[in-house]
Amino acid sequence: MTLPRPDLLVEAPYAPNPRRVRIFMAEKGIDLPREQVDIMAGEQFLAHAERVGTFHVPALHLDDGSWLTETVAICRYLEALHPEPNLMGRDAREAAEIEMWSRRMEFQLFYPVAQVLRHGNPKMAVMEDQVPQWAEANRTRVQSGLELLEHALSRDGYVAAGRYTIADITAFVAVEFMRTIRQELPEAHDATHVWRGLIRARPSSVP
C-alpha cells in the first residue's frame, strides 16, 4: 500500500504545538517545505482556515491533496513513514506506556501552561475570550504537573520507556514554554534539571 507523502508543513513561530512537530521531524531527519502562519495577527482564521478547514496549526499537507492536523496524529503518521529512530513505541506494550505518559504530560503540564498564558496575558486576548481566574487556577496545575514530571524522571531519566520518546518532546516543549508565563522549574527538581540540560543539548531542540 502506498501512503500519501507529506509535502508541506504549516506552522507558527513560538507556538508550542508546531514546535513539538519540528522536534519530532528533526529527530527523524525529516525535511519538508514549511510555511508560517502569524497567529498573533490572526492569520489562522483567514486563508489558513479557508484551505485547511480548521484554524489549528500545525497542519501537514499530503500529496493526495488532504490536510492532517492535530500534533499527535501528525507525529504518528510521520512515525509510520519514517519508523527510525522510534519515538512512539516498538511494540504495543511500549506504545501504551509512551502514549499514557505523553497524554499525562499534555493534560497535566502542557495544557495548564498554555491556559495560564492564553487566559492571563493581555496580548493573548486576540485569540481567546479570557477568563483570568482560569489562568490563576492553572498556575497550581502547572506545579502539580511539574511534580509528576520530576517523579517520572526520577525513575530512569526519561518520561517513559527508559528512553527518549514523544513523551519527552511533549514535556520538554511544555517546560520550555513556561518562559512565557515566567514560571521557573523548582530548584529541588534535580531529575528535571538534568533531563532539561540533556534534551536542550540535542540538535533537535533548537527553537
Q: Which spans of this chain sit near its own copies (rule: CB under 8 A)?
A: 1, 3-4, 54, 68-70, 72-74, 76-77, 80-81, 91-93, 95-97, 99-100, 103-104, 129, 131, 133-134, 137, 140
Q: How far is CA 171 from the centre of its chain?
A: 8
Strand partners, 61: 8, 67
Nearer to its own copies, 109 or 205 (CB): 109
H/E stretch holding 61 reads strand 59-62
Nearer to its own copies, 40 or 68 (CB): 68
Nearer to its own copies, 37 or 205 (CB): 37
DSSP state, 162? Answer: T
Q: How far is the CB of 197 from its own copies (least distance, A)?
A: 27
Q: How far is the CB of 167 from its own copies (least distance, A)?
A: 11
Q: How far is the CB of 62 from its own copies (least distance, A)?
A: 8
Q: How far is the CB of 166 from its own copies (least distance, A)?
A: 12
3-state SS class at 11: strand
Nearer to its own copies, 80 or 125 (CB): 80
Q: What are the b/e assignments for 139-176, b being 16+ CB within 10 Å?
A: eebbeebbebbbebbeeeebbbbebbbbbbbbbbbbbb
Q: How far is the CB of 61 from its own copies (least distance, A)?
A: 13
Nearer to its own copies, 37 or 75 (CB): 75
Which residues have a Cβ under 8 Å from the Cβ of 110 and sit 6 or more positions away? 16, 170, 171, 173, 174, 177
